[in-house]
Structure 1
Amino acid sequence: MSRFAGKTALVTGGRSGIGQAIARRLAAEGARVFTAQRGPDPDFEAIEADITDTDCPARVVSTVLARAGGLDVLVNNAGVMQEAGVEAMRLEDWDRTLRMNLTAPFLLIKAALPALRQARGAIVNIGSIEGLGSNPLHAAYCASKAGLHGLTRAVAVDHGTEVRCNAVAPGWIDTELNEAFVNAMPDPVAFRANIGRIHPVGRTGRPEEVAALVAWLASEEAGFVSGQVWTLDGGRMAKLPLP
């Protein structure tokens, strides 16, 4: 397929995990892909950036425009999770989570809108099922992802005739980070089996499955899709606990 031939995409946090899968999928379909994150990315045109710095998102977008001359797809994927409840959370940790997960996407969208408007492009934000529900001790993460879902709808409403904006809310995805978490359990095999059983499809998800949905949402095939949060969780949020 070459749905993105001649198009330029920017993926934040594209060096690993879900972001890397998205970058690879868009590139495989013809896009010129830039990634933005701390440190280099040997696979794509990398922009080393700390997007929690409020001056950084505009610089990242300007760099893409200077090199490529335009921007068609923006994927806000970079994120961070801080484990703490409200009482135990330090203000600086709360602020850092919201800066990364919500403020940086806002600033990237703000900076990219003129180019995306010209291209009649697409924005895909990577939210989370924790923007819909909550796991324990994830107060800042849940708040930031719920905010990102809200921002998605607001951008779609305010700029609907110019750009499309959607979000994907993944559940448990087999990223390097999650694999390290599983392997740190006392019995990784049992934990992996148990985490699979909470999903009606009987397993956890793969980064490539998130990438496939992102690519569709960013493509012209989804031209009438905007302002939506797409849950990608193997049916987990649909399943009620046993009485």
Structure 2
Amino acid sequence: MTNQNTARVVIVTGTSQGIGHAIAQTYLNNGDIVIGCAFSPLNKAPLAQKMLAENPERYFYYSVDVTSTEAIKQFVNEVEILFGRIDVVVSNAGKNVFKGIDCEESDWAHNFDLNLRSHWYLAKCARPALQKSKGVIVIITSNHAFSTMPGCAPYNISKRALLSLVQSLTIEWGPEIRTVGIAPGFIDTDGNQTWFDSHADGKAAREKTIKKHPVGRIGRPEEVGDLCLFLTSDRAGFIAGTTIVMDGGRSAIMQDEDDA
């Protein structure tokens, strides 16, 4: 899909599993060079090991704690030293911090360090390289940024803030750097399967969730990767400063029948 004559250098955070892993695979399939990172060390990241074995010259993996600004800075510096450029940043790393609005201060701080500050600081560190390449930033937020459920704070609050981060990056760093957001809904990852399995009847919980989606299924991780690839291509050059919801129509439902 890319129009570049040479492979782009793409940073993707949170690539050890789930959506991040699928995004990395999508860019590799497109012929790009992918530098992935996640909190897990390589010896505890089997999917990253497999990806490295299959793409020894185009995939690179780092263990990075993105709650540490110093770790982010070092990671970006190493990428620039090794490759001399950065064309795309997909800021995906994060996790569910579902503690409720009465959460402890430590939960609040950890959530915002991971689910908000890390995205801002990664973009900040990559800015000089992206300005040179006229690059693109994609920030992965969540449909919880638009509407949420009891007990999902403070996660949903940080995800809402990412909508404003996308806007501010766009209006302050454009036109050299284009920024867009993606807000996935229920995506079929191992983490979500663990949530299904936590119910007394995991199969029933899964079927109930599927029925809440007008498209009749939940999302696939590779679909998020495909959207990232499109949004970072020249074909999407007029899309900026906005966050696209991909939730199978879930957010179009005002009220579930079993909640009435």
Give the 3-state SS of the residue equivalent to 1:139 in structure 2: coil
1:213, distance to aligned residue in structure 2 (A): 0.6
Whether 1:46 and 2:47 are equivalent positions in the alignment is no
Give the 3-state SS of the residue equivalent to 2:163 in structure 1: helix
> Are the structure 2 counterparts of residues 72 and 200 from structure 1 closer, same or farther at C-alpha, using a change threshold of 3 Å?
same
Contact 1:3 1:30 in 2 (8 A): no
TM-score (norm 2): 0.90
How far apart, in 1, do the equivalents of 2:90 and 2:204 lie?
35
1:226, distance to aligned residue in structure 2 (A): 0.4
How far apart, in 2, do the equivalents of 1:232 and 1:27 lie?
22
> Are the structure 2 counterparts of residues 205 and 3 from structure 1 closer, same or farther at C-alpha, using a change threshold of 3 Å?
farther
Whether 1:18 and 2:32 are equivalent positions in the alignment is no
Aligned to 1:9: 10
Aligned to 2:127: 113
Whether 1:85 and 2:86 are equivalent positions in the alignment is no
Whether 1:220 and 2:221 are equivalent positions in the alignment is no
Whether 1:57 and 2:72 are equivalent positions in the alignment is yes
Aligned to 1:122: 136
* One of 131, 147, 155 as aligned partner of 1:133: 147
Contact 2:2 2:234 in 1 (8 A): no
* One of 176, 179, 191 as aligned partner of 1:177: 191
1:36, distance to aligned residue in structure 2 (A): 1.3
1:3, distance to aligned residue in structure 2 (A): 4.9
Q: What letter is aligned with 1:73?
A: V
How far apart, in 1, do the equivalents of 2:90 and 2:187 lie?
18
Give the gaps of 5 or more residues in structure 2. Answer: 43-47, 52-58
How far apart, in 2, do the equivalents of 1:236 and 1:183 lie?
21
Contact 2:2 2:233 in 1 (8 A): no
Contact 1:71 1:116 in 2 (8 A): yes
Give the 3-state SS of the residue equivalent to 1:55 in structure 2: helix
1:76, distance to aligned residue in structure 2 (A): 0.6
How far apart, in 1, do the equivalents of 2:203 and 2:101 lie?
32
1:202-241 correspondence to structure 2 within 5 Å: 202-241=216-255
1:45, distance to aligned residue in structure 2 (A): 0.3
Q: What letter is aligned with 2:244?
A: W
1:195, distance to aligned residue in structure 2 (A): 0.1
Count of residues in Structure 1 that have an aligned counterpart in Structure 2: 242
> Are the structure 2 counterparts of residues 225 and 2 from structure 1 closer, same or farther at C-alpha, using a change threshold of 3 Å?
closer
TM-score (norm 1): 0.96
1:90, distance to aligned residue in structure 2 (A): 0.8
Q: What letter is aligned with 2:250?
A: R
How far apart, in 1, do the equivalents of 2:110 and 2:178 lie?
28
How far apart, in 2, do the equivalents of 1:60 and 1:148 lie?
22
Contact 1:160 1:226 in 2 (8 A): no
Q: What letter is aligned with 1:75?
A: V
Aligned to 1:69: 84
How far apart, in 1, do the equivalents of 2:134 and 2:106 lie?
38
Give the 3-state SS of the residue equivalent to 1:226 in structure 2: coil
Q: What letter is aligned with 1:11?
A: V
Deviations 1:84-126 (A, max 9, x none): 2122x11111111110111011110000011001000100000
